[in-house]
Amino acid sequence: MAISTATTPAGAEPLEIRQRVEAAIAPWRCSDEKPPFSPEQLVVLALLVHGGEAPIDDIHLWVLETIRWYRKQAALQLSRSHPRDDNFSDYSHFLSHDRPKHANHHPALNLASGNFEAPLYRELKNGVYYRSVSLLEGEQMLGSTLPSRDGAANSTFNFFGLPAELREAIYEMIFAYPKSGLGIVDESSPGFRMVSTSWVNEFSWEAWKPAQRSSSTGSPKIETMPMRDILRPLLTNKQFYIEASPVFTRINLFHCKNIESLTRMLNNIAPQRLQHVTSISFCMTGQNQHAAKLFTKLAQVKHLRRLDIMLAPSEERWLARWRPEGHHLHDKKFESVMNMRGVPELRSIRSLEAVTFTGSPTFERILKPEMLKPKVEKKSNAGGKKRKLDSRDDGAAVGSERTKRKG
């Protein structure tokens, strides 16, 4: 795969970048057509015009004042929420003195401001959230959106000529998300939210609690791109797909708020990709009637190495002296951990490197030692020690003489 590059002169001036941004947006200032920029690219364009840093409200205002289509869309959004106000029938209202309070009425821009989209950075200064991006990173993120720089030298290089270890590192940079994990959105097809844009914050149940509206840090649930967009780089070519396909599921932790979310994840992620999932967290009770089947499927995830499990609300609710007089299933208690639905199947999981049970010392004491045991491989009926494949097997697929049994 040959990748085209354009060399960037050292010390590129902000004025030169701004002129290229102005050239990119000029056709869309008075156009009724939707511009080809994604909401994230619009945020970067606004930041580059402002020298690389601006408050989020200023970013929104710049988009509304600069691009006609977004003004009309925001006006339409406001007219629906204020049907009796004639001021919102067109976009001229956004040029009035009270425009700042209406700056955030376009859903796509709101989403773009909250998205985790490297290399954007979010910082709180004196109670105001700022977005920032370096000139070089912003230019790289916009790519062909910006007009070419005069005198830029174009060149190509063979990506697959790089060492395999370096290609692997690049794949991880493309598909890595914060260590705190990706939360599964409860929809028919997998979607994800993040709890933090920090790369270093480890997973914690406390961080994934529902957001409080009064919190000064805002909602921790940050939407990611849809899964189809996250995995779009895999369409580059066949070799890229083969090498990078397992990376997204292998390096990220997936957080499921309950058994239902875990079920959607296991049922909707493609089987060949699911086998590369290494880290999952989920919340469970002892009453889910499908738990046994679900945990049997979980045990079949080949490369699973870490589980973080929360017992909700606590083990005391489910573990007590057996009371057969309970009128309904949810009124009954369990005599022991192993009586709870799905627990024997959960206990059968092997080869984990780490497992935690939050809220239940009993679960941890009974299940954890078993789940950390190595998986016992079934013995082959053929007997003898199996030899690893090497260069001697190159002809096996076509039945070469070297692989035929000697007579």
Separation CA 294–CA 344 (nearest Å): 12
Separation CA 146–CA 124 (nearest Å): 29
Which range of residues forms the domain containing residue 278? Answer: 161-371
Amino acid at 175: F
Last residue of a domain, one of 159, 184, 214: 159
Separation CA 126–CA 352 (nearest Å): 45
What b-and-e string marks burial along 14-25, b requiring 16 or more CB atoms within 10 Å of the CB?
eeebbebbeebb
240 and 142, same domain (yes or no):
no
Per-residue pLDDT of the chain (407 residues; tens, 9 = 90+): 655 444 444 445 677 888 888 999 999 998 989 898 887 788 889 999 988 888 888 888 888 889 888 888 777 776 666 655 555 444 455 445 444 444 454 555 555 555 444 456 777 788 887 888 888 878 877 877 888 766 444 567 789 999 999 999 999 999 999 999 999 886 656 678 888 777 788 888 888 886 544 333 444 467 787 787 888 899 888 999 999 999 999 999 999 988 888 998 998 888 888 999 999 999 987 778 889 999 999 999 999 999 999 987 655 566 654 444 444 444 556 667 788 888 999 999 999 999 999 988 888 999 999 999 998 876 655 555 544 444 444 444 334 444 444 44
321 part of a folded domain = yes
217 and 76, same domain (yes or no):
no
Look-up of token digits 């929420």: 81
Last residue of a domain, one of 159, 180, 206: 159
Separation CA 91–CA 74 (nearest Å): 8
- The end-to-end CA distance of the chain, in Å, is 46
Contact 313, 283 (CB under 8 A): no
398 part of a folded domain = no
Last residue of a domain, one of 136, 159, 182: 159
**Whole-structure pTM value:** 0.59
Contact 345, 288 (CB under 8 A): no
198 and 150, same domain (yes or no):
no
The tally of domains found in the chain comes to 2
384 part of a folded domain = no
Cis check: omega of the bond before 361, within 30 degrees of 0: no
Cβ count near 369 (within 10 Å): 11
131 and 216, same domain (yes or no):
no
Cβ count near 387 (within 10 Å): 8
355 and 265, same domain (yes or no):
yes
116 and 210, same domain (yes or no):
no
Look-up of token digits 């997204």: 248
Contact 78, 91 (CB under 8 A): no
Contact 279, 182 (CB under 8 A): no
